[in-house]
Chains A and B, each alone.
Chain A
Amino acid sequence: AQKITQTQPGMFVQEKEAVTLDCTYDTSDPSYGLFWYKQPSSGEMIFLIYQGSYDQQNATEGRYSLNFQKARKSANLVISASQLGDSAMYFCAMRGTGSARQLTFGSGTQLTVLP
């Protein structure tokens, strides 16, 4: 079974500052993918970034980077230079091997960017 834990229900950050959203995971799969999605108040789910368990380098995508620490089973999302439009719910998710191809989501972190 896979489990994703996001321990920060809400976070505040000042505009233009960086923020880290925490995500820890648990799985017995030797290979897995880790994903972050953004959900604005309008409700849609927007894919942000992913990290493969065998990737040697941390994933980056524009202002988003993933701080992957395999030994600690953590995959924290770092947003640099926060913008007001970054205010949203952020979900960490994972996907393992085997027949199950679905994503397992965490409970999310509500990020509010302050002007």
Chain B
Amino acid sequence: EPEVTQTPSHQVTQMGQEVILRCVPISNHLYFYWYRQILGQKVEFLVSFYNNEISEKSEIFDDQFSVERPDGSNFTLKIRSTKLEDSAMYFCASSSRGGIYNEQFFGPGTRLTVL
């Protein structure tokens, strides 16, 4: 069964460093998302991406964040200068269509720890 994959599973970085989180969505999916979950809290939407551009972003997704689909398979989230409060689990998700009835399939997550 096709699945969303994410690398790395755990990333430790120093405050102020840049990190890139990588995702490979399900191959025939067209809509891509990033969510984050701070430890013990709810899952929060960061950004959605369709047709090679951002379609929606939350207030969390400020200028420190960017997303890219560098090739036909990868979808990346870059944090330019990490802060302590960026420590969280980051989930990538994809869906085949953007309709409200279409489930999003999540990857296993990348746990980011900022020291």
A positions within 8 Å CB-CB of B: 31-33, 35, 37, 42-47, 50, 52, 91, 93, 95-97, 99-108
Chain B contact surface mostly: strand
Instruction: Contacts A101-B31, A104-B45, A105-B43 known; list 13 others, CB within 8 Å.
Output: A37-B106, A44-B109, A45-B93, A45-B106, A47-B106, A91-B43, A99-B55, A100-B56, A101-B95, A102-B33, A103-B35, A106-B42, A108-B42
B interface bracket (residues with beta carbon within 8 Å of A): 20 to 34
Q: Per a CB cutoff under 8 Å, which of A44, A45, A96 touches B100?
A: A96
- CB closest chain-B residue, reference A32: B100
Nearest CB of B to A50, in Å: 6
Q: Per a CB cutoff under 8 Å, which of A37, A99, A103, A107 touches B45?
A: A103
Contact with A along B54-70 (1 / 0, CB 8 A): 01101000000000000
Nearest CB of A to B1, in Å: 12
